[in-house]
Structure 1
């Protein structure tokens, strides 16, 4: 596992001058637990990135949609059947409405857009604005007023209209508010249409047909793109009929002429790739996968992270505040957690575990035992994440519980309302869990996995399990949150875990086998031969692994380090070069 040496340079690099404004676009952003403006990992990453930007005082403004109806609240029946319930909220109750209005032409008619502002404050008191676009205005037709209601809702027409509002409307809104961004960062391809607004500013009278290769290159100098999806089907694509009808013949034709279509479909990823000077995947392995998917483009990698102060449980925050007082402003200080007494680590985890088990009791009526080994598995439910892999040989789970005097397993996760295979997977896990319930084995599927429950689980379980089908895990961040709380992972070597796994030090690897039965057998074997004996019979060794998990993984897999890499490698590489040259000149002069 390697640790980039450039991270510390961020503190010395002047990134706050007037030419250094960054515009960060994301379809979803997890801003507060009370705002249902995100669905999962992409939104949580965006929120954590912005929290670190505020911590650092980066001159950044973020753009997203308001999502008045939220994503959805998950209700699970006794049989595991998922029901989606709307989560409406009122931005006018807590946000500031900007006076600026912009207009986006959709299907030949103007759609008026306004913005609500949320000021995100960092640990040092510095603030960055988040602008949440809203089309619910009386000037708009009724169907257009609903365009910013649902996150990932509706049909593909609705999605393309939304992406026009986010990309084109978002860029126009920033200009209307007086911003002149030096960098536009597209967090996934949903915002790729911001390049249309940039093209219209680039040429006289906004005539897209006049765009030249030189104009494209000029725009590229201002654009950065992060791709998160290692599955081709996961990239937003639209028919040319849709593109021409919704965006207009001139816009669709220009994008087609500039190489933004693939297999006769307008492809948001190809738009972003075509117009970006820096492109990155979200982990080393994902960078490799992305280069295979898009061999004609240069794709780098910046591994994801999580916001340390947000995802560290209060019990561990108290330990870190005492032992590592600068850890909030300098996450690298968590390296020195290796010197924290093991008893302090154990005591802090015990508090977190009891909080989690208290929540489980509220939801299920069953009080689990804080002394019994507890496994956590929680994430967006998709078939490639294989939530049912642990049940491949259910008799082995029963045997483990009997042999070691108890085993507790907690599941959580939402399937997209349109994902029938995902919803079926939830039902299967619930059904299998009920069939295995005994005095020594307890398995629960907790409904409505979201920010608060997620933070309880990553802090309160004893082991974080992750077993996606390789190579479909772009990065994953839940295990990073667990690491901040001393919780080791047992995971497939994919995504971030390839970089984070030191076997027997920060957790354990599930080897890559041809057959799923072999992978599940590896999970059972490692639990039986290594993990459970260590937990129950060698608690001091176990607490040592918890401590090294914090020191090695918590100190690196955070958005402070990640943002530093974006600033120095993606946003302002020339400033880094200027800084390095100046430092070298100063050293030589001495």
Structure 2
């Protein structure tokens, strides 16, 4: 579908993100941030938001994950061809890296909404004829961990190159540049130069979303490195705007250059305001793109019962009306699909008859993937003949502690199987396709991060949409979800306001004990009561009426983009 001059002229929002999960065959994402970006763009297309998106085109993707028999993660570069997926932007732009002129081109991908509305996504690449050999691979790997130099250069390409490319293509009427996490903050520098070094004019054009309270999510660069890559092109004003403790903090730079700042869940908003007390920080709770994440068997139920549910997700608040037998049959189909896939990819074959608890996300240590194995004998006795576990996720190639967690899960699985017959499997190469099967095919979705380091989390929303019960620490979105409907799953621990100052927030012994007690005294007995379990599953589905990206994007349109809903959307800033 052609990107017309009229579409370009009408575009009011530029969405800038380091990663975006457009399709599992397009490896331009690593985890939750990229998946959320993809869902945001899909909902924006459905809602006909006048948006264009910028990302990088990673010729080697993130990485393909393999395990050996000890559970040691091995990484392979992904080999893929984007020539058939994308159209080439013919005329590259130029930008300076150190004292060299580098060309940046892009591949064009289109996301088409339910009504046919198109959102163009330009994926930037330095693999351009005329560039020096060392330049060609600068956009090769997502979150290139080769060096800090590579990382800051990628962020220069995303921010500076992204804005410059849009200008070259005629996107002259953009009212909001939405920086999705600090990686894109250098876009403000390009805007600063475009607007005659008027920082107030830059602020009027920028909205910023921060996605994590974890330090790794807030890139910091030594000024010696900044001076090296920019030479004399980094203004003193921007050193002032981005400085935190003598380093360039990309989150601080983005916040100081934005008219609107938000966190991604209500509790995350509280946490972020504590981290950055001198800023006005709003909160828009994340969601998921329901048509993309709903399984086929569940979709059939929705289509029959509520033909307009895709355009009007609020009807899912009536999920209690779903027929028990239809829901049971749909879930069994999903569960069999997952376990059939698992049996072809693992030596330890899961049992369709057992309660299947799923855990799938990045293996960052704060997510505490190994918490359920704190007392292996107690877990084995409780789960024997009743419960099995399926894990998936990637550790960053340089995160040795995260890799060690994967090995510990393998070791725990061997012990539990050898002593109690309890199966624990870890699936290789977690991606969007595997995520679809997991969030619809398990029975219970486990999430047990350290409090309060989970900004939002969206995998549990996808599970709830498919009638899967959440079993989670009260952090991120689940604080809101569990408050809305306590029949939608189980909580690990208390609500934030219920902890006293003297209590340890992340006591592994206490939290593991609560996991064991809940599995033994609540999850297993409820599963044995067919009617009660299905009642809870329907309550889980009802959460999707709120936790969806249609609602989320409409909030962004009003608060961050200053758009009024009409055909077409009208900018009122």
Q: Identify the TM-score tier after normalising by the shorter chain.
A: over 0.9
Query: 1:328-377: CA deviations, max 9, x gaps?
Result: 12211211222111221111111000000001100114442222100001
Question: Take 2:347 and 2:414, find their aligned partners in 1: how far apart are those partners?
Answer: 15
Q: CA deviation at 1:17?
A: 11
Q: Show the counterpart of 2:231.
A: 248
Q: Show the counterpart of 2:498.
A: none
Q: CA deviation at 1:254?
A: 3.1
Task: Point out the more displaced range, 457-466 or 332-341.
Answer: 332-341
Q: Show the counterpart of 1:317.
A: 299
- Alignment check: 8 A CA contact 2:358 2:391 kept: yes
Q: Show the counterpart of 1:265.
A: 247
Among candidates 457, 464, 469, match of residue 488 of structure 1: 469
Q: CA deviation at 1:298?
A: 0.6
1:57 match: secondary structure: coil
Q: Show the counterpart of 1:66.
A: 57
User: Quick check: 1:149 aligned with 2:140?
Assistant: yes
Q: Show the counterpart of 1:9.
A: none
Report matched runs for 1:101-116 at 5 Å. 101-116=92-107
Report matched runs for 1:164-243 at 5 Å. 164-180=156-172, 181-203=174-196, 211=197, 215-243=198-226
Q: Show the counterpart of 2:388.
A: 408
Question: Take 1:265 and 1:189, find their aligned partners in 2: how far apart are those partners?
Answer: 14
Among candidates 396, 404, 407, match of residue 424 of structure 1: 404
Query: 1:158-193: CA deviations, max 9, x gaps?
Result: 011111111000001001111021110000000000
Q: CA deviation at 1:93?
A: 2.9
Q: Show the counterpart of 2:414.
A: 434
Q: Show the counterpart of 1:444.
A: 425
In structure 2, relative to structure 1, the CA distance for the partners of 1:472 and 1:237 (3 Å cut) is same
Q: Show the counterpart of 2:547.
A: 557
Report matched runs for 1:71-150 at 5 Å. 71-150=62-141
Q: CA deviation at 1:271?
A: 1.1
User: Quick check: 1:516 aligned with 2:497?
Assistant: no
- Alignment check: 8 A CA contact 1:80 1:430 kept: yes
- Alignment check: 8 A CA contact 1:377 1:412 kept: yes
1:250 match: secondary structure: coil
Q: Show the counterpart of 1:585.
A: none
User: Quick check: 1:373 aligned with 2:363?
Assistant: no
In structure 2, relative to structure 1, the CA distance for the partners of 1:271 and 1:90 (3 Å cut) is same
Report matched runs for 1:26-65 at 5 Å. 26-65=17-56
2:344 match: secondary structure: helix
Q: CA deviation at 1:573?
A: 6.1
Question: Take 2:315 and 2:200, find their aligned partners in 1: how far apart are those partners?
Answer: 41
Structure 2 regions of 5+ residues with no counterpart? Answer: 1-6, 495-502
Q: CA deviation at 1:56?
A: 1.1
Q: CA deviation at 1:504?
A: 4.3
Q: CA deviation at 1:575?
A: 7.9
Query: 1:452-510: CA deviations, max 9, x gaps?
Result: 11110110000000000011101101100001100011100111111001464111111
Q: CA deviation at 1:324?
A: 1.1
1:468 match: secondary structure: coil
Q: Show the counterpart of 1:383.
A: 365
2:233 match: secondary structure: helix
Q: Show the counterpart of 1:456.
A: 437
Among candidates 354, 363, 376, match of residue 394 of structure 1: 376
- Alignment check: 8 A CA contact 1:104 1:164 kept: no
TM-score (norm 2): 0.93
Question: Take 1:437 and 1:463, find their aligned partners in 2: how far apart are those partners?
Answer: 20
Question: Take 1:373 and 1:44, find their aligned partners in 2: how far apart are those partners?
Answer: 27
Question: Take 2:235 and 2:379, find their aligned partners in 1: how far apart are those partners?
Answer: 55
Structure 1 regions of 5+ residues with no counterpart? Answer: 1-15, 204-210, 583-590
Question: Take 1:330 and 1:124, find their aligned partners in 2: how far apart are those partners?
Answer: 14
- Alignment check: 8 A CA contact 1:240 1:252 kept: no
In structure 2, relative to structure 1, the CA distance for the partners of 1:429 and 1:367 (3 Å cut) is closer
Question: Take 2:116 and 2:221, find their aligned partners in 1: how far apart are those partners?
Answer: 43
Q: Show the counterpart of 2:260.
A: 278
User: Quick check: 1:568 aligned with 2:558?
Assistant: yes
- Alignment check: 8 A CA contact 1:358 1:367 kept: no
Q: Show the counterpart of 1:292.
A: 274
TM-score (norm 1): 0.90
Question: Take 2:217 and 2:87, find their aligned partners in 1: how far apart are those partners?
Answer: 34
Among candidates 498, 503, 507, match of residue 479 of structure 2: 498
Question: Take 2:317 and 2:334, find their aligned partners in 1: how far apart are those partners?
Answer: 21
1:501 match: secondary structure: helix
Q: CA deviation at 1:58?
A: 1.0
1:243 match: secondary structure: helix
